[in-house]
Amino acid sequence: MSSKIAFLSPSGRSLSMRPPLAYLSLSAFLEENGIGSDIVESKGFSAKKSLEKSFEKLHRLKPEIIGLTCLTTEVLEARAVAQRLHKEFPESTLIVGGVHPTLRPQDLIFENNGIDYAVMGEGEETSLELVQKILANDVSGKTMGKVQGIAFLNGKKLEITEKRPLIKDLSVLPSPNYGKIDMDFYTKPDIYCIRGVPISGFYFFTSRGCPFACQFCVNKNLFGRTIRYKDPVKVVEDIEAVVKKNGIDGFYFYDDTFTVNRKHVEKICSELKERKLDLIWGCETRVNLVYKDLMVAMKKAGCVQIDFGVESGSEINLKRLQKGITVPEIKNGFKICKEVGIRTFANFMLNTPDETEQDVEETIQLARELNANVSIFNVTTPFPGTEIYDRLGGVPLEDYETLGPNPTSFNVWLSMIETKYKLSEHKMPLGTLLERLNKEFPSIHSLSFGNPKHLARFLNNMAFLFKPSYIAKLLKSKHRKQYLDFLLHVSDYLKAQKNLEESEDQ
């Protein structure tokens, strides 16, 4: 099939082991409907080099349409790339989509920016209709005004069309188009798929949307609060296809709240067991959606780790965040996981709106008590699409890039938050607080083996690696040489990945 559209990955993700799931889905959907597509990315290079290589590929492909995805932190890069694309590919139509264009299309669609259309929200059906119209050269303002879910300049005015209804049953979507990316790169063993567990893995979605409305979270404004599912059989078929082709030993379910529908999860678990795929996996969910029988079923089906947004140890703070969970629920969720033998990854938040010193101390106290396998403290940042952003009355464009902590600009980021986006009531300097927490809850990069507490924490975490079942899995894996290499060069690997990890923390 000749290619009509090329999806260009942001060059800032050139080292990321996280696959472009949006593009995999869009590409599959378009191809199923007869429109050839490519995903253009150049993995393993620095951002600058990767961009050059991707432009070379684009020049070879000469696509009629170029698609760009973009998070808020990537808006400035997308704008610069769009300008360059416009110059080097004056004949091509440029479309953007993803989180930021969905929330604030006006930051990307304006005169002389070179971007023709923004796809807002779920992209498959919208991009199909849009691409069909572009290819047929049926692009009058009147025609485009009828395409649901887009933004474009109609004359000089930004026009945002009617919202497109969400796809009700995700099973109508074809399997992701894995053949379009370098799967060998993405399935190399790392510790980010199931965070902290070295594994060759990949990522899958079984649902879209989250019914909750936490104050700091963008998700309600992306895929909405109605949760939609993919048939468990199709989900596991997709997983099995990647196992057969790429020999993965594990995976991660990226669903926002994996256990919201028990029946759906039970079916996935029984399907995984029936097919005897013998994989380990992780997922994320809420502490109030942890049920012992379900956790047992998940464990039997290979689940080894669950990531939780614990956020705070203070009841008042949890209420302020509209998190909809209580401290006893948090403790109960963790207790069940411990009883069942599923590792826990706890995410906490600092700098939450009106947070007091006491709230912080209660959070730290809870972190100690939960003693999760991994505890991470994130600094609340005002992303568009959240109440926190609205409360501040927005964030200037020049701050977008710095909103995501970046290793090369960690101090810049910290001082920006400290001076402009300090949401807490207390005045404790965030740098000092993070340093203190890093000593008590060290990341793998800041472990000090002379410290008995660090050593105990490390051994507690690493116990998993000495499980006979896990070792057996690595020994018979298609990736066993890569695992060996990984173990032999683990310190180099960690050094190289430190920067990446900081730039990707969520």
Positions that interact with ligand SF4 (CB under 6 A): 210, 212-214, 217, 219-220, 256-257, 286, 309
The answer to whether the beta carbons of residues 332 and 287 sit under 8 Å apart is yes
CA torsion sign for 269, 274, 275, 280 is positive
Nearest in space to 212 (alpha carbons), one of 169, 167, 180, 257: 257
Instruction: Tell me whether strands 250-253 and 374-379 are parallel, antiparallel or unpaired.
Output: unpaired
Q: Which is nearer to ligand SF4, 54 or 386 (CB)?
A: 386
423 binds, among ligand SF4, ligand B12, none (CB under 5 to 8 A by kind): none
Q: What DSSP character marks residue 373? A: S
By CB under 6 A, residue 96 contacts ligand B12: yes
Partner touching 254 among ligand B12, ligand SF4, none, CB below 5 to 8 Å by kind = ligand B12
Q: How far is the CB of 423 from ligand SF4 (least distance, A)?
A: 16
Closest to ligand B12 by CB, 119 vs 197, is: 119
Q: How far is Cα 422 from Cα 417, in angstroms, rounded to an integer?
A: 6
Burial of 428 (0-12, 13-18, 19+ CB in 10 A): middle
Q: Which of 222, 280, 325, 374 binds ligand B12 (CB under 6 A)?
A: 222
Stretch that binds ligand B12, among 49-57, 242-250, 486-494, 498-506 (CB under 6 A): 498-506
Q: Which is nearer to ligand SF4, 307 or 401 (CB)?
A: 307
Closest CA to 303 of 347, 333, 264, 258: 258
> In the complex with ligand B12, which residue's Cβ is closer, 122 or 355?
122
Amino acid in position 391:
R
Helix H or strand E segment including 280: strand 280-285
Residue 258 or 464: which CB sits closer to ligand B12?
A: 258
By C-beta, is 210 or 306 nearer to ligand SF4?
210
Sign of CA dihedral 265, 270, 271, 276: positive
Residue 249 near ligand B12 by CB under 6 A:
no
**Alpha-carbon distance 244 to 248, whole Å?**
8
Q: Using CB under 6 A, count the residues that bind ligand B12.
A: 46
312-348 burial, b at 16+ Cβ within 10 Å, e below that, comes to bbbeebbebbebebebebbbebbebbeebebbbbbbb
Q: Which of the listed partners (ligand SF4, ligand B12, none) does 18 bind, with a CB threshold of 5 to 8 Å by partner kind?
A: ligand B12
| ∠ CA 485-15-380, rounded to 5° | 115
Q: SS3 of 157, please?
A: strand
- Residue 72 in the binding site for ligand B12 (CB under 6 A): yes
Q: Is 107 in the site for ligand B12 (CB under 6 A)?
A: no
Pick from ligand B12, ligand SF4, none: which does 309 bind, CB < 5 to 8 A by kind?
ligand SF4
Which lies closer to ligand SF4 via its Cβ, residue 11 or residue 257? 257
- List the single partner that 349 binds among ligand SF4, ligand B12, none, CB under 5 to 8 Å by kind: none
If one asks whether residue 104 binds ligand B12 (CB under 6 A), the answer comes out as no
Q: In the complex, what is the shortest distance from the CB of residue 475 to ligand B12, in angstroms, rounded to a whole number?
A: 30
**Residues 278-317 interacting with ligand B12 (rule: CB under 6 A):** none
By beta-carbon proximity to ligand B12, the closer residue of 225 and 478 is 225
Residue 94 makes contact with ligand B12 by CB under 6 A: no
Q: Least Å distance between CB 170 and ligand B12?
A: 10
Which tokens go with 328? 């006893």
Compute the distance between CA of residue 58 and CA of residue 41 in angstroms, rounded to an integer: 10
Residue 353 near which of ligand B12, ligand SF4, none (CB within 5-8 Å, type-dependent): none
Name the binder of 159 from ligand B12, ligand SF4, none, CB < 5-8 A by kind: none
The verdict on 17 binding ligand B12 (CB under 6 A) reads: no
Contacted by 214, from ligand B12, ligand SF4, none: CB < 5 to 8 Å by type: ligand SF4
Q: Is the CB of residue 195 less than 8 Å from the CB of residue 345?
A: yes
What's the count of helices (H) and strands (E) in the chain, helices before strands? 20, 17
Q: Provide the residue count of the chain.
A: 506
* Residue with tokens 């620095």, as numbered in its chain: 46
Is 346 within 8 Å of 286 (Cβ atoms)?
no
Q: Which is nearer to ligand B12, 19 or 105 (CB)?
A: 19
Which of ligand B12, ligand SF4, none interacts with 257 (beta carbon under 5 to 8 A by kind)? ligand SF4
Q: Do residues 42 and 60 make contact, with C-beta atoms less than 8 angstroms apart?
A: no
Q: Among 21, 428, 444, 500, which residue interacts with ligand B12 (rule: CB under 6 A)?
A: 21
| Closest listed residue to residue 104, CA positions, set 151, 60, 51 | 151
Stretch 378-417: interaction string toward ligand B12, x if CB under 6 A: ---x-xxx------------------xx------------
DSSP string, 232-267: HHHHHHHHHHHHHHH---EEEE--TTGGGSHHHHHH
Short-list 431, 429, 430, 453, CA closest to 440: 453
Say what the alpha-carbon torsion angle 259, 263, 265, 266 is, to the nearest 10 degrees.
130
Q: Which is nearer to ligand B12, 204 or 441 (CB)?
A: 204
Decide if residue 134 touches ligand B12 (CB under 6 A).
no
Least Å from the CB of residue 292 to ligand B12: 27
Q: Which residues bind ligand B12 (CB under 6 A)?
A: 12-13, 16, 18-22, 25-26, 67-69, 71-74, 95-100, 102, 119, 122-124, 127, 205, 217-219, 222, 254, 256, 381, 383-385, 404-405, 503-506
